Amino acid sequence: MSSAARTALSVNLNKVALVRNTRHLGIPSVTRAATLCLRAGAQGITVHPRPDERHIRAHDVRELHELLKAWPRAEFNIEGNPFHNLMDFVRELRPHQCTLVPDSEGQFTSDHGWDMQANATRLNPIIEEARALGVRVSLFMDPVAAAMPLVRDAGADRIELYTEPYAKAFGTPAQAEVLRSYAQAAQAALDCGLGVNAGHDLNQANLTEFLMAVPGVSEVSIGHAFISEALEQGYEATTQAYLASIDGAFAPS
Ligand SMILES: CC(=O)[C@@H](O)[C@H](O)COP(=O)(O)O
Ligand SMILES: NCC(=O)COP(=O)(O)O
């Protein structure tokens, strides 16, 4: 195993809640999904409580916060737009990490990072408030190296690289060039003293090559593919498969 710090797996449970919400029966259970993934070795849980509550609802966030008290080594990451409902959860629950995402209220899914030229000034007090509450702050970002000093100057602790463009390029001739942009953005973030997270459309097929190419990834948050695969393999086997994919990136070459 290389000396590089191992990337943590944070399982995003949005899609468990999405299925749960289609009946008034409370199943599949979000908290049971979290328990099974944590038992299998996942290092964290992520949720994105969108304002329209299409999937994760406020009670899910509170129930997961309570559940995670029994898992002191696991982290709770709450994602959202800080100018919508995210800060209410940050102030009430003080999760280990909040990830600020520039989504509109009705957006189909997250599909871009912050424009720091346009938003750094209004983000700074939000970031300072969350950090004063003891919450690590990560900004959802496109892989643009030149933006990383602006993230640092805004006071954030980490970035989360938005990885859908990589997922789309995976397995195509464009993969190597796209990966270079992620590696350069990650290195620029590290050079600014920022931590590096990554997420969106990562899966068992594309994760290892991403982590082998992109330096210093502290955490990957994975949901849609993970839950899709868990429907077939189960939570335990799926968690173990992702942990093995992460280990594969750090195995001696
Ligand atoms: C920010 C991001 O890329 C994802 O974490 C996001 O949570 C996906 O949201 P949906 O699950 O609503 O597509
Ligand atoms: N921040 C990314 C995340 O939490 C899950 O994204 P996805 O795997 O559902 O695309």
Dump pLDDT digits (tens) for 27-47: 999 999 999 999 999 999 999
Dump pLDDT digits (tens) for 138-161: 999 999 999 999 999 999 999 999
> Separation of 221 CA from ligand 1 center, angstroms?
9
Number of Cβ within 10 Å of residue 233's Cβ equals 15
Q: How far is CA 230 from CA 13, 72, 233, 240, in A?
A: 11, 25, 5, 11
Buried b / exposed e along 135-162 (16+ C-beta atoms within 10 A): bbbbbbbbbbbebbebbbebbbbbbbbb
The CATH code that applies to domain 8-250 is 3.20.20.70
pLDDT at residue 5, as a whole number: 79
- Strand, coil or helix: what is 136? strand
CB-based pocket (< 6 A), ligand 1 = 12, 14, 48, 50, 79, 101, 109-110, 140, 199-200, 221, 223
Which active-site residues does the annotation give? 48, 79, 200
CB-based pocket (< 6 A), ligand 2 = 12, 46, 79, 160, 199-202, 221-225
Residues of the chain with pLDDT below 70 are: 1-4
pLDDT at residue 115, as a whole number: 98
Point out the ligand 2 atom lying closest to the alpha carbon of residue 200: 10
Q: How far apart are CA 217 and CA 214, in angstroms?
A: 7
| Residue of the CA atom closest to atom 1 of ligand 2 | 199
Ligand nearest the Cα of residue 204 is 2
> Quick one: tokens of 96?
């280990």
In sequence order, what are the residues at sequence separation of 6 or more whose Cβ sits closer than 8 angstroms to the Cβ of residue 51?
81, 84, 85, 105
Number of Cβ within 10 Å of residue 21's Cβ equals 14
For residues 139 and 100, the answer to whether their CB atoms sit within 8 Å is yes
Quick check: pTM over 0.95?
yes
pLDDT at residue 3, as a whole number: 52
- Strand, coil or helix: what is 159? strand
Half-sphere exposure of 57 (CA within 13 A, CB side): 11
pLDDT at residue 4, as a whole number: 62
